[in-house]
Amino acid sequence: MASRKRLFEGSPAPKSVRDFRDWGVEETCEFLRKEGLRDWEDTFRAQNITGAILRSLEETHLEKIGVKRLGDRLLILHSVKKLWLIGTQSSKVFNDPVHGHVELHPLLIKIIDTPQFQRLRNIKQLGGTYFVFPGASHNRFEHSIGVCHLAGQLVQALNERQPELLISHRDILCVQIAGLCHDLGHGPFSHLFDGMFIPKARPEITWKHEHASLAMFDHMVKVNHLEPVMKDHGLVLPEDLDFIKEQIAGPLDSNADEKWPYKGRPEDMSFLYEIVANKRNGIDVDKWDYFARDCYHLGFRNNCDHGRFLTFARVCEDNNRKIICTRDKEVENLYNMFYTRNRLHREAYQHKVGTIIETRITDAFLKADRFIHFQGSGGQKFTLSTAIEDMEAYTKVTDHIFEQILYSSSEELAESRTILNDIIRRRLYKCVGETRPEKPVTFDQETEKTWREDLATNSAPHSRGETLQPEDFVVRVVELNYGMKEKNPIDEMRFYCKDDPNRAVSINKNQVSKLLPQCFSEQLIRVYCKKLDGHSLDAAKKSFVQWCMDMDFSKPQDGDVTAPELTPLKVSWCQDHGTGEKAKRVRNNLFK
């Protein structure tokens, strides 16, 4: 990391008002005095130039109102631009493997240099996927810096391309802070913690990492005394704190006005809420970074070119609301983006081995939960699952829990230790097959119990005379989609054409290509066997094929290999339907 001094230092704006866009003539003149431009105060007053006009001020305007000398005109414009350009103070530069040199504002550095943010160094971005892909060792720390960088790039691109939007220095900083802090609430192994562990450890509550991000952000600001620092850098509190948190998790008040539920910014700045976490269509800088970063570390090719989106991003009005749009010719690039998302989920995030490893880590954490304690506020002790209630305790909860259990000598952690040792030694439950339901299924504990019983019923005794039991099976259902369940997110995107860049239009899938997906969500059902001997696995695979036939699920890809005597019995699975009597004989011989 290296520091760099800017050529010009920014001067503080008048404190009598909170934003240059709200300045009247006198506040504008006060700004000129602070910038050493007192000679032009009367000229600005005579022309009734307010803060809102400053954003549109050009050299030709200054010449018309009597600023004759070129040097004076350039000096005024330079001072005025400080109001909305963020890069006017000392900054630091990070060398990022994905984005190159990333330059960050001093306030962002203050946030990075806190224990609450540094904690993210010890939370892997892809959780248990690291046990399958050796390169996936990156963490939430570097991802958050990447999101902050891209958020700044996008909002500044809009600012430069459309000065009439009146994007302020404050807006840019708040958007970057939201990008930096959006993942503060992640727990050990990222989505494993909030998606698998907490729902099982505390089924009575609904908890998401976004909720914890807000609580951790408030805690970080308080214990590190960041409010005065934020004010020194021009933020207005608590308005800007609300704006930052709303970008992370949406409206803070569930009972807010449905027409415009946000408090941090007015409706005419609605597009700012689409940069970090876009609730409208999911196209945001968070995805851009993790697509690029995850592909880089996984060794995948990234088909999403977010640089083109930055180049063509533009704010247009749609249904009386300002939204971020892109050029019509970029529609295929956006489909490529969501294809990349689908591929990452299918081949990495939901990898069949990674899934069972995360299931086993969850089992270990559940067994260890009440025996591991973290000291929180006032010296109070919290367990792994209750630490989410106290941010002082939660700050200490990271991926290190895995090693803490693995290397412990406590008898209370013996079961958890055995599970983690099995992971390290690669003694994992084996996937006996994968299938797809024709229609979406509801998967809960009762469904899993019934399916395991059915799988056990279908299993024939193997050569040792043993029959598989329901507890020998593990069933997992994987949801795959384009980020909006069964919906096509591009339907919620708006585009503009070269001939009319201010008009937002939608582009139907049929206008793009006949080769695009017809369906935007599906489920994968995977069955694992806990017994690892060859005889049990063979029996489990045959049982799985039979179960798929009974449930009218899709034919397993290896079904003809693992159970060639069974697959011909399912008419819909066969190209040749003439298997009749022969198929019946095969089945009778197998189960007699």
Phi, psi values for residue 461, rounded to 5°: -60, 135
CA angle 313, 177, 237 (to 5 degrees): 115
500 domain residue, yes or no: no
Q: Looking at 306, 331, 350, which one is the last position of a domain? A: 350
Sheet of 430-435, strand order: 430-435, 521-529, 473-481
Among residues 207, 212, 241, the alpha carbon closest in space to that of 123 is found at 212
109 and 235 belong to one structural domain: yes
495 domain residue, yes or no: no
Rg (CA), the chain: 29
Residue 155 is part of a domain; what is its CATH number? 1.10.3210.10
114 and 178 belong to one structural domain: yes
Collect all residues with Cβ–Cβ distance below 8 Å to 106 and sequence separation of at least 6: 89, 90, 91, 92, 233
Q: Active site includes 233? A: no
592 domain residue, yes or no: no
63 and 197 belong to one structural domain: no
79 and 200 belong to one structural domain: no
577 domain residue, yes or no: no
How many angstroms separate the CA atoms of 308 and 153, rounded?
Answer: 12
8 vs 14, 57, 62, 156, CA distance in Å? 18, 20, 22, 19
Q: Can you state the angle between helices 169-181 and 239-249, rounded to 10 degrees? A: 50
418 and 373 belong to one structural domain: yes
Q: Looking at 37, 70, 87, which one is the last position of a domain? A: 87
374 and 442 belong to one structural domain: no
156 and 269 belong to one structural domain: yes
Q: Looking at 425, 441, 474, which one is the last position of a domain? A: 425
How many domains does the chain fold into? 4
359 domain residue, yes or no: yes
4 domain residue, yes or no: no
| Boundaries of domain holding 391 | 355-425
How many angstroms separate the CA atoms of 586 and 591, rounded?
Answer: 9
pTM, full prediction: 0.88
167 domain residue, yes or no: yes
217 and 171 belong to one structural domain: yes
Q: Which of 209, 219, 233, 345 is catalytic?
A: 209
318 domain residue, yes or no: yes
Among residues 374, 369, 468, 378, the alpha carbon closest in space to that of 412 is found at 369
Sheet of 2-4, strand order: 2-4, 91-96, 100-104
pLDDT, tens digit only, all 592 positions of the chain = 433 333 333 444 444 344 788 899 999 999 999 899 999 999 999 999 998 888 888 989 999 999 999 998 999 998 888 777 655 456 899 999 999 999 999 999 999 999 999 999 999 999 999 999 999 999 999 999 999 999 999 999 999 999 999 999 999 999 999 999 999 999 999 999 999 999 999 999 999 999 999 999 999 999 999 999 999 999 999 999 999 999 999 999 887 778 899 999 999 999 999 999 999 999 999 999 999 999 999 999 998 899 999 999 999 999 999 999 999 999 999 999 999 999 999 999 999 999 999 999 999 999 999 999 999 999 999 999 999 999 999 999 999 999 999 999 999 999 999 999 999 999 999 999 999 999 999 999 999 999 999 999 988 776 566 789 999 999 999 999 999 999 999 999 999 999 999 999 999 999 999 999 999 999 999 999 999 999 999 999 999 999 999 999 999 999 999 999 998 888 889 854 444 454 455 545 544 4
Locate 319 and state its tokens: 């249904």
Residue 530 is part of a domain; what is its CATH number? 3.30.70.2760
Residue 32 is part of a domain; what is its CATH number? 1.10.150.50
433 and 560 belong to one structural domain: yes
Cβ atoms of residues 273 and 123 within 8 Å: no
228 and 206 belong to one structural domain: yes
57 and 38 belong to one structural domain: yes
Phi, psi values for residue 28, rounded to 5°: -65, -40
400 and 448 belong to one structural domain: no
Q: Which helix (H) or strand (E) holds 474?
A: strand 473-481
